Amino acid sequence: MIVVMRKDSTREDLEGVQRRIESHGLRVHLSQGVERTVVGVLGQIFDELKSELELLPGVLEVVRISKPYKLASREFKREDTIVKVGDVSIGSEELVVMAGPCAIEDNEQVLSTARLVKAAGAKILRGGAFKPRSSPYSFRGLGVQGLQLLAEARKETGLPVVTEVMAPEDVGMVAEYADILQIGTRNAQNFNLLDEVGKIKKPVLLKRGFSATYEEWLLAAEYVLSGGNSQVILCERGIRTFETATRFTIDLAAIPMIKSLSHLPVIADPSHSTGRANLVPPMTLAAVAAGAHGIIVDVHPNPAVAKCDGAQALTFDVFENMMSQVRAVARAVGKVPAGMTG
Amino acid sequence: MIVVMRKDSTREDLEGVQRRIESHGLRVHLSQGVERTVVGVLGQIFDELKSELELLPGVLEVVRISKPYKLASREFKREDTIVKVGDVSIGSEELVVMAGPCAIEDNEQVLSTARLVKAAGAKILRGGAFKPRSSPYSFRGLGVQGLQLLAEARKETGLPVVTEVMAPEDVGMVAEYADILQIGTRNAQNFNLLDEVGKIKKPVLLKRGFSATYEEWLLAAEYVLSGGNSQVILCERGIRTFETATRFTIDLAAIPMIKSLSHLPVIADPSHSTGRANLVPPMTLAAVAAGAHGIIVDVHPNPAVAKCDGAQALTFDVFENMMSQVRAVARAVGKVPAGMTG
Amino acid sequence: MIVVMRKDSTREDLEGVQRRIESHGLRVHLSQGVERTVVGVLGQIFDELKSELELLPGVLEVVRISKPYKLASREFKREDTIVKVGDVSIGSEELVVMAGPCAIEDNEQVLSTARLVKAAGAKILRGGAFKPRSSPYSFRGLGVQGLQLLAEARKETGLPVVTEVMAPEDVGMVAEYADILQIGTRNAQNFNLLDEVGKIKKPVLLKRGFSATYEEWLLAAEYVLSGGNSQVILCERGIRTFETATRFTIDLAAIPMIKSLSHLPVIADPSHSTGRANLVPPMTLAAVAAGAHGIIVDVHPNPAVAKCDGAQALTFDVFENMMSQVRAVARAVGKVPAGMTG
Amino acid sequence: MIVVMRKDSTREDLEGVQRRIESHGLRVHLSQGVERTVVGVLGQIFDELKSELELLPGVLEVVRISKPYKLASREFKREDTIVKVGDVSIGSEELVVMAGPCAIEDNEQVLSTARLVKAAGAKILRGGAFKPRSSPYSFRGLGVQGLQLLAEARKETGLPVVTEVMAPEDVGMVAEYADILQIGTRNAQNFNLLDEVGKIKKPVLLKRGFSATYEEWLLAAEYVLSGGNSQVILCERGIRTFETATRFTIDLAAIPMIKSLSHLPVIADPSHSTGRANLVPPMTLAAVAAGAHGIIVDVHPNPAVAKCDGAQALTFDVFENMMSQVRAVARAVGKVPAGMTG
C-alpha cells in the first residue's frame, strides 16, 4: 500500500501519516520525489486501512498494491487447477463441451436433448430446474422435479449434470442430484450462497456477475475457496455494456486474462451472453480459439416453444454442425476436443 | 407486441406468423407500409411469445409494447404510494432523512450516532448488522448482536430503524427487529429473497441493482408487490459505469424518471453511490432538488476507524452543517423537511 | 511512478528495472516489503516509461502516481478560474443560465427565444449553426447564415452568444460571430480542433465526451490551455451507460469532483444529457444544488416542430416556471442567481 | 413508426395524433388492442417525426421500426462488398492480415517491420504518421515525414499501406500516400472528416467509436457511403466498459452481428482493444474464428522503446508464431489465409 501526499502537505501531515501506520504495527518506507512525497506501507495490510489513511490531512490518494484475493491467484498456486468430473478434466488441454436445455421442461425434452448432445460430443449435460427470472410472471423452473428428470437423463446417458442453485438452503438438496453446482450471474455476489457452496465437496461453476470486474469475480471464487472447496470453474457469460443489440457483451479477453491472474479453469457461455442463436456458433468458436477450457451452450429440440430463452437455443442440427467446427478449431489451437472423434 | 417482417419475406412467412399468433388465441392486426409489413398482436401477451416469433422465417424483429411490470406501474395505480413508518410518511411531500453508521460496531457507536442524527433532524436510523462484502476477508457485521444494538438505540431515541437482510431464511428474524428491511444492491436480483420479503408486513427498502435498468428495478419491486407486500421504497444508489474515480455513478435522473413510471416512493443514497465523503453533501442536496422523497446517508463518530466504508461516512459536524442546507433546498423545491425545525 | 515486482521475480529482474530507470537519468527508491518489492521512480517521468517498464521481466504492474494533466489541475492553480463574458462571471458565486434553441432555424425563432430567455433571467444565448448529427440524413444546421442570425439576436437583446464549432478550419470564422465557442461531445477528442481553439482569445465551452473519464476530459482541456487559451469552461452533458431510458446518464457527481480536481468553471447541460423535456427542470435544479457554476438548456417556441432534438426542449412557459425555482435553489446553496431579480 | 397511446388517453388525443400524422402526407393504421391503442405510421418517415409525436398529449411512446441507415444495410445490398487493395480482397473468403508499428518513428523501424510482417504473411502495412493522443504532451507522430517513410516501405516491399487521417483538410494529402485511409475511434463521429473521406476514391478503414452502438457505427459508414465512396471497411477495436484491467473490451460478437446487419467487410484490432501484448494472440485467433475478414495488429522491433503504445505491440518472434496459428484457425473455419503458404 502506498500513500501519495499532496504537494502542499506539511511536515505535520507526513508525521501524522507515519504515526498512524506505525500505530498498527506496520512499518513505513519514505520516498521523497522531485514532485511529491510517497509513503510505502510495509507489513500485513488490512482492507480498512485504505480509507483510514485517505481521510488524514495532506493525503492525495492511497494506492493498494497487492490483489485482495489470495487463494484464487496464480501467485498463490502456479499450476493449473484441474477439476475432474466423470471422465473429463476441466482445466486441462481437453476442451469440454457442456450442453442442454436452458430450462428443464419434461422428460422427453431432457432425454432427447441429452442423447443428441452426447452423440455430438458433449461431455456434460446442462439444464435448469431453478430459474432466476427478471419478471415474477415468467416460468421459474420445475424445481425438485426438474432435478429428478436431470438425474434420470444422467442414468440413461451417463452424462454428468450441471444445474443452478439459487438459495443457501437448497445447496444440500441440489448437491444430491448435481455433479456440478452452478452459481448464476445474478447470484455472483450472493455471499451467503457462496459461503454455502464453499462447504460442499462438489465442483462449483461460478458465472461472472454481469457487472463484475475480474477482481470481484475472483473474490467471489475466493469465498468458495476460503470455505474449503477448491473445485471452482469460472464461466464468462457476458457483461452489461451500452450495446443492447446483443443481450450482453461477451468479454472473450477475460479468458486469457483470467488464465494469467488465476489457476482456476475458465469456460465461456456463448448462449446467455449473446441471447441470439445465430451468434452462438461464431462466439463458441471464438471462445475455443481464445483458449477456453470449455463451453456451455443451450440446445433445445424446438427452440420456438422453449419455456425459457428460446431465442438463444440451438436446434439439434445447428449444434451438430457447430461441433465439427469446434473440433477443428480446438485442434488448430492445440486442444484435445474431449470425447470427440471424427 | 409488434412483429416487423423482413423486406424480402414471403407471403408464406407472413401467413406462418399469423397462424402462430392465432394458435395462442391471440388476434392479428396487419399493417402493410410502403417499406415493410408490420403485424400487431392483440390479446394477453406472454413473455415467451417474443422469442417464439423471432425465430419464425421472415421476421426481422419483435418489439414489445407494454411494460413487463404491472403492479409497480403508474398506469396501474395513479396516486402516489405513501409508506408510513413511525410518524413519517415516505412518498409524501415530507423529505425524510435516514442516517446512521454503515456497519454497527458497538453500543456506544450506535447510540451516539443515533442521538446526533436525531438531533440534527433525521427521522430514521440506518445501520448494518449483516454486511455484504466483496472480499471474504472484510468485516461482515455483528449479525444478531447488531440487530439487538439497533433495537436498543430505537428504544432510547424513538427512531425507527432500517437494516439489511441478506438471506431468505433470515427475513423473519430481521423483521422482528427492523422497522424497514433493506434489500442491498447485490441482492437486487436475488429472487428467493425478494419472494420472502413479499410475504411480510413490513416496509422494504429496495436498492437498485448497480447494473439494473429502471425496468429490472421495477420488476424486482414487482416480485415484492406480487407477493402481497405493497410497502416498497425504491432507492437509487449509483450504477456502474466506465468512470472509476467515484465508486459508482449516481443516476439522479432516476428520481423524476421513476416517479413518472411508478407510484412507489423513491429516495437516494449519496454515500454508497459516490464512496467519498466530500461528494456526499452536494449529491444529497442535488437529490433533494431532483425531487427525492428522502435520502439515506452514512454518518460515523470517527470515520477514520470505521470498520466499513469509512471513506464515505460523514462526521457529526459535516452532517449537521449539511442538514441545514438540506432544509433550505427542500423548502426551495416545495418540500416539507420532515421533523426539521430551524 | 511505482514499479511492483512479481513475488517470483529474481535479483536480476530487479537490477534490470533499476538499470533501465537510471538509463533515463531518473533515480530509484527501493522498498522491500513483507510480500513484495516495490521500486519508486524519482525525477521527471515521461508517458512512455510506463509501458517500457511493464514489459521488463519480473514486473507485475506499473502504477502512475501523478496526474497526466498539469495546467488544468487544482494543484497547479489553487484559485478558481473565472471566465468573464459580457457582464457575467462564470466560475464565481454567480449562477449563470445559458438558454436558447438547439438549432437555429430562422430569424423569428431565434429572436423570440432570445427575448424570452433574457426576460426570464438567462444571461447568455445558446444556438447551433453547425450541428453534429448521428445520421447524414438529419438537419445539419444553417451554417454561416445561422451565425448571422445569432449575431442579430445578440445585437437586439445584448445577450452574448455561445455556438458550436466542428472543424479546425472553421474556428476563425466562428470566433468572429461567437462570444463563446463550444466544442461538442463528439469532438471532445478531436485533437486538431482542440489545438485550434487553443490559439484563439475567446472562451471555450468544452463539453465532456460522452465516454470520457474525468482525466480524459481534463486532458482535453489541457490541449486548449497548453495552446495558450486559459478561458475554458467545462460542461457535464451526460455519459453513456447501460441505461437507455434516458438518452445519456447525467453524472452530477462530476460537478463537485471536477471542482476538487481543477480550478476551471464547470456547468451542466440537463437537456442533451436526459433527452426528455420532463426531466430537464429536476436535473437543472439538481445541478444547481450540486454546485454548478451555470447551466445550459434548450428552449424552443414550439418544441413539437423543432428541427433538432425537440423532445428535450422546454417551452417558454416551462422555462419561466423553472427559472423561479432555479433562483430559489441557487439562493438555498449560497449562489447569486446572476441577473435574476424577483 | 409506431405510436403507443397511454391507457388513459382520450378520443381527442387519438384524433390529434392522427391529424398530425396526416398533416405530413403520411397514412395511419389503427390497432385497438385489449390493453391499449397503437397507431402505425405509413409512408416516408423523417427523423424529427418521432419527437414531434412523443410530445403530443396521450402518447406513451413512439417506436421507430426501420433502421436509420440505408446504404450500409444488408437489406439495401444483399451481396458482400469486397474491397480490393493491391492483390487482396477484403470482405471475401480471404483472411487479410494488416500489421506494422503503431507510430512510425524512423526509416529503419518501418522498413525492418515491413519486411518481417510481409515474410510472415501480412498483406498490408499499417503505421501511424498522425497520432491522436489523450495527452497533449505525448508523441503525436512524424506527420508528413511519416507518410513519406511509409511510402518508401511500400516501394521496397510492395505492401499497400493503411494510415490514419485526423483532419478534414489533410484528407487529400494523406490520400496521396496511403492505399487505405483510417478513421480512428476518437474521430468516429467527426462528421466533417467523414464527409471528406466520402469524396475520395480510396478505401476507408472506419474504426468503431469506442462508445458507438452498432447503429451509430453503421451511420458513420453511411456518411462515407452517401458521400459517394462505397469502399468502407469496418473495424471493431474495443468498447469502453466498466472493466479497466484491459484497455477496452473487445466486442467480438460485433463481427457476426455486423455481417448480418451490413454488407460491408469487418475486421478486428486486437492490439488497441486489449492494450496488452499477451492478450493479442488469443484475441487475434478468436477474431478469426468469429469470422472476421481480417485483422490489424501492432508489431514493433523493440516494443520496450516504442514511442506509442509499446505495451500492446508484438515482437517479431511473437508475431511469427502467432501467424502460424492464424493460418491453422483460418483454415479450420473455412477461410483462405491470404498470401500465407505453409
Check CB contact under 8 Å for A66 and C36: yes
Residue B308: CB partners within 8 Å, gap ≥ 6?
A: A48, B102, B103, B128, B131, B133, B138, B139, B141
Check CB contact under 8 Å for D31 and B29: yes
- Identify how many contiguous H helices and E strands chain A contains and give both numbers: 11, 15
Three-state SS for D38-61 is EEEEECCCCCCHHHHHHCCCCEEE
pLDDT band at D342 (very low <50, low <70, confident <90, very high): very low
User: Any chain D CB within 8 A of the CB of B68?
Assistant: no
From the list B2, B34, B65, the residue facing D43 with the nearest CB is B34
Min Cα distance B168 → chain A (Å) is 8
Best residue in B236, B252, B295, B318 for a mutation probing chain C (most C CBs within 10 Å): B252
Min Cα distance A63 → chain C (Å) is 9
User: Any chain B CB within 8 A of the CB of D42?
Assistant: yes
Per residue in C265-283, pLDDT tens? 999 999 999 999 999 999 9
What are the chain B neighbours of D65 within 8 Å (beta carbons)?
Answer: 2, 4, 36, 38, 63
What are the chain D neighbours of C241 within 8 Å (beta carbons)?
Answer: none
Best residue in A242, A280, A285 for a mutation probing chain D (most D CBs within 10 Å): A285
Check CB contact under 8 Å for B6 and D75: yes
Min Cα distance B254 → chain C (Å) is 9
Q: What nine digits make up the cell of D241?
A: 466498459
Check CB contact under 8 Å for B226 and A136: yes
- Identify how many contiguous H helices and E strands chain C contains and give both numbers: 11, 15
Which of residues 129 through 168 in chain B touch A, CB cutoff 8 A?
A: 132-140, 166-168
What are the chain D neighbours of C308 within 8 Å (beta carbons)?
Answer: 48
Decide if pLDDT at C242 tops 90.
yes
What are the chain B neighbours of C255 within 8 Å (beta carbons)?
Answer: 282
Residue D340: predicted pLDDT: 54
What are the chain A neighbours of B137 within 8 Å (beta carbons)?
Answer: 47, 68, 226
d(CA B313, CA B300): 6
Element (H, E) at B14: helix B11-23
User: Any chain D CB within 8 A of the CB of B42?
Assistant: yes
Where is pLDDT greater, at D55 or B276? Answer: B276
From the list A222, A227, A240, the residue facing B211 with the nearest CB is A240
From the list A52, A135, A223, the residue facing B136 with the nearest CB is A223
What is this model's ipTM? 0.94
Q: What is the mean pLDDT of residues D21-43?
A: 82
Element (H, E) at A182: strand A180-183
Residues of chain B with pLDDT under 70: 34, 338-342
D42 phi, psi to nearest 5 deg: -110, 140
Decide if pLDDT at A342 tops 50.
no
Per residue in D207-235, pLDDT tens? 999 999 999 999 999 999 999 999 999 99
Check CB contact under 8 Å for C55 and D311: yes
Residue B92: CB partners within 8 Å, gap ≥ 6?
A: B80, B82, B293
CA torsion sign for B131, B137, B138, B139 is positive
- Identify the chains in contact with C, defined as 3+ C-beta pairs within 8 A: A, B, D
Best residue in B49, B242, B248, B249 for a mutation probing chain D (most D CBs within 10 Å): B242
Residue C80: CB partners within 8 Å, gap ≥ 6?
A: C91, C92, C263, C265
Decide if pLDDT at C310 tops 90.
no
State the distance between the two ends of chain D, measured CA to CA, in whole angstroms.
54
d(CA C241, CA B239): 9
**Among chain D residues, CA nearest to C140:** D191
What are the chain B neighbours of A131 within 8 Å (beta carbons)?
Answer: none
User: Any chain B CB within 8 A of the CB of D65?
Assistant: yes
Check CB contact under 8 Å for B38 and D40: yes
From the list C242, C325, C329, the residue facing B213 with the nearest CB is C242
From the list A211, A291, A329, the residue facing D282 with the nearest CB is A291
Min Cα distance D187 → chain C (Å) is 6
Instruction: State the residue for C-alpha cell 441440489.
Output: A174
From the list D55, D134, D192, the residue facing C166 with the nearest CB is D192
Closest CA to A310 of A160, A157, A180, A139: A139
Where is pLDDT greater, at A241 or D337? Answer: A241
From the list D35, D42, D242, the residue facing B33 with the nearest CB is D42
Relative to beta strand C2-5, strand C37-42 is: antiparallel
What are the chain B neighbours of A62 within 8 Å (beta carbons)?
Answer: none
pTM score, two decimals?
Answer: 0.94
When the pLDDT of each residue in chain C is averaged and rounded to a whole number, the result is: 93
Residue C34: predicted pLDDT: 65
Best residue in D279, D293, D312 for a mutation probing chain A (most A CBs within 10 Å): D279
pLDDT band at D71 (very low <50, low <70, confident <90, very high): very high
Our CA dihedral for A323, A328, A329, A335, rounded to 10 degrees, sits at: 100
Per residue in D311-334, pLDDT tens? 899 999 999 999 999 999 999 999
- Taking residue C342's Cβ as centre, other Cβ atoms within 10 Å add up to 7
User: Any chain D CB within 8 A of the CB of A251?
Assistant: yes
**Among chain B residues, CA nearest to A192:** B167
C94 near C292, Cβ under 8 Å?
no
What are the chain D neighbours of C136 within 8 Å (beta carbons)?
Answer: 191, 194-195, 219, 222-223, 226-227
Which of residues 277 through 316 in chain D touch A, CB cutoff 8 A?
A: 278-279, 282-283, 285-291
- Taking residue C77's Cβ as centre, other Cβ atoms within 10 Å add up to 16
Check CB contact under 8 Å for A251 and D242: no
Min Cα distance C69 → chain A (Å) is 14
Min Cα distance B137 → chain D (Å) is 22
From the list A4, A43, A240, the residue facing C34 with the nearest CB is A43
Instruction: State the residue for C-alpha cell 459535516.
Output: B318
User: Any chain D CB within 8 A of the CB of C243?
Assistant: no
- Identify the chains in contact with B, defined as 3+ C-beta pairs within 8 A: A, C, D
User: Any chain A CB within 8 A of the CB of B23?
Assistant: no
User: Any chain B CB within 8 A of the CB of A190?
Assistant: yes
Residue B342: predicted pLDDT: 40
User: Any chain C CB within 8 A of the CB of B51?
Assistant: no
